[in-house]
Amino acid sequence: MKRIFVLTAIVVLAGFSFQSCSKDETEAAVVDQELLVANAQIDVSNEMDFDLGLDVASEQDTYSSRNGVSSARTFPSCATISVENGTLGQFPITFAVDFGTGCLHNGILRSGIIRITFDDYLINFGSHMTITRSNYYVNGRKIEGTVVYQNQTTNAEVPKWSRTVTDGKLTTLTGSVFTFSGTRIVQQIEGVGTLTLGDNVYEVLSGNHTVTRPNGTSLTVTVVTPLIKKYACTYISQGQLNLQGALLDGILDYGDNTCDNLATYTHSNGVVYNVSL
């Protein structure tokens, strides 16, 4: 979340390169490539939407000044934002971020609408940020589902949220449909004391999610070493996920906190595969 996350990866055009020691292992990697790519694309979309929600939350009282102006890394100048339901400064309130028929930003093409609903300020304990998608596409892939962040902060110096994904669905360029759901715990570990988002760093502490193929086979992804996601970096830069599926049984490692698109998958038999997203 390189990327696969919340923590979400982060590019949607994912390409995988595997190196193995036997024909059988190579074939296994090829068979699971579609599922791995789908999982990466799902994490990418979730992470981008979280960044977008943070952007809206940080300036929701003055959101209109950003229309047509790219004032933050995650808010594209080609998107528009409006209050769909509610009144500024009051809760609940729903913002609609409209990417139109095609909005290219940071190399990622998006279209459709993301709705972000707040029932309180995101920094307040117990508050919720709910993200939904309407005819929403990322690089041609349709993303559906609802993501709810609930503030669980007990230490004012370490903001923390649970993230729950329900009714998730990814439709690929070829028409394959993958469903997904799950919960993770995310906390902010850097940038709490500043007003800008650029120095924020988030850590995915724990959690798991499931991605299901069109034929019913599934991949279960569990956080085993906290994932590091820098707001200023598109990719997850550190941490490990345990991947369990019909042909997958191993660890996906995001590396040494370098901002790049590289990861490695180590199968239970010790064979290491290089993964490029």
Tens-level pLDDT at each residue, the chain (277 residues) = 343 333 333 223 333 444 444 444 444 443 367 787 788 788 878 888 988 898 888 876 655 544 444 444 567 889 999 999 988 888 999 999 999 999 998 778 999 999 999 999 998 999 999 999 999 999 999 999 999 999 999 877 789 999 999 999 999 999 999 999 999 999 999 988 887 888 889 999 999 999 998 788 889 999 999 999 888 887 788 999 999 998 888 898 989 999 887 888 888 888 888 776 6
In three-state secondary structure terms, 50 is helix
Element (H, E) at 136: strand 128-138
- What is residue 36's DSSP assignment? H
Q: Is the dihedral of CA 180, 238, 204, 125 positive or negative?
A: negative
- For residues 255 and 262, is the Cβ–Cβ distance under 8 A? yes
- The answer to whether 1 and 10 are in contact (CB under 8 A) is yes
Provide the 8-state DSSP code for 62. Answer: G
Q: Which amino acid is at 275?
A: V
CB within 8 Å of 272: residues ≥ 6 apart: 19, 264, 265, 266
